[in-house]
Structure 1
Amino acid sequence: MNTLKNLQLLIEKGVNDLKFPLQPAELYEPITYILALGGKRLRPALLLMACDMFGGDTTSAVPPALAIEVFHNFTLVHDDIMDNAPLRRGRATVHEKWNTNVGILSGDVMLVEAYKLIMQVENSILRDVLDIFNTTAVGVCEGQQFDMNFERQTDVQIDAYLNMIRLKTAVLLGGALKIGALIGGAAAQDAELLYTFGEQLGIAFQLQDDILDVYGDPDKFGKQVGGDIISNKKTYLLIKAIELAQGQQALELLMWLNNDNCDNLKKITAVTNIYNQLQVRQYAEQAMHEFINKAFEALHKIKLPFEQKQQLHDFAEGLMMREN
């Protein structure tokens, strides 16, 4: 079986080999630009890994894997516009480097290009693969809308939040794995179990991200710790704290959430202290472990020898062992 690193290199080569027209430059240059910003290429690599796990030809799975990567980057271009984000992976976002209209239109073309790539799968499974891809794409958009809705809502519940991250983050992992499994010749039941594995793993990963944003080491986590607190982002920890806080704790938390002119460091310290008092980190970690256990349960049920599932098992363990 191919190693994850080899599969990532295969995707990287595929991305570099993608060719787009030269004109109009404002339409196509942003696509090349965003794809060249890199990233770990984990989603398309997982598609290849799933295909390989069932004994399929990973070479034939490269175009649909690239479709996943192009689609993912399309969502980033449009998300950055909605978030008015100036940077993506340390470089100017597409709408900052060009303009918003260019970002919207280039993103639209990226979605079409993703479909052109996904259409290169074998005709015998094309309808099933398109159905997975369409369902996944709609789910990601629904998740983004729910996330934006949460910015205006004060009564977000844990179940609603978990559903949002399932849609926005986890279904793309599940969809990539399921498509790879079908290309590799997996039975429908095994492909569905692999989808469940990816979906549950994706939810666990996002919960871990919520935890590390507050409690992580910034040098190891790779971004500013406390950013979610500064922006009042509705994460598992904040939603749980609002649910549990009473009396003076609730008033203090509300004060920090409504104070737009406070010192960021003081806010991070104060809100983290409330989190510690309410033990919301422990609640989040418990939920995270529940989802990772569900992921491993689904992987265990797949009718393959464990050695063929070992790489995915190890990948999941490695993903959930980011240092804090």
Structure 2
Amino acid sequence: MATAPVPGPVPGSLRAWLLSPAPASRRQARFGRWFRAWLGFRRNPLAMSGLAIVALLVLMAVFAPLIADQQSATLQVLQDRLQPASWQHPFGTDELGRDIFARVVFGSRITLTIVVMVGVIVVPVGLAIGLPAGYFGGVVDTVLMRITDIFLAFPRLVLALAFAAALGPGIENAVIAIALTAWPPYARLARAETLTSRRAEFIQAAELQGASHLRIIATQIVPLCLPSVIIRLTLDMAGIILTAAGLGFLGLGAQPPAPEWGAMVSSGRQVLLDQWWVATIPGLAIFIVSLGFNLLGDGLRDASDARS
């Protein structure tokens, strides 16, 4: 039995414009490459699950006041302490009578804030260290990479704990402590990407045209490094979240009464055997969000792999 042919893109449609084998402009080629990457990403169900989890985290953080009552996340009602799940409190209450559901919802804002702020810091720092090291080489490469190796020699969590203890508790200091320990992999990745393209013909053509080193790095090499760096950042989000939760667990992150997930797990460990939901619910939130970022990062890596 003859099978029906698979319908292709309708001529003149946006899909046909994006999938054109002969793009008429650089913009069309760029958008076409992104669209093909999206088609490959969409065929990965695990990656789509990770995207859904991350999107849910963002929506929950943005619309937190519409999902839960902020007052019930911080208001202490001692007569309602350690209540199990009910219609009034879907996830139960903690040792101070605060609604765990509301605290998990508003805690997503703290988690997302830490993730975004760390990403904003580590990517420029990693590029600022790795790009000159790979481009200039020699003494510059040796000095910058030895500094990077010093930071890589210490376990990330231990070094973050040391910085956080020195800076003092607080969400701002926790972000700085995590960022100071998270930038070395991005520097090494940027250096590797720069070494790959340093002797490329288009770099030599830009040099012959009189372009400065700074201009070549900013306009030619940085766009080549950013996709790999962004994928690495997405994969590292889970580690950033776990490190932030570890600092909160030890009292070095966001301070009470802020609903930080790590601090919630710490406060619930005292009643874990009898009132398991106090520590388990925020622990599950940390696990699900970390899993979502890992799945999303794996999907982005597979979609950007030219061999796949």
TM-score by length of 2: 0.31
Bigger Rg, structure 1 or 2: 2
Report 1 or 2 for greater relative contact order, CA contacts < 8 Å, sequence distance ≥ 6.
Answer: 2
TM-score by length of 1: 0.30
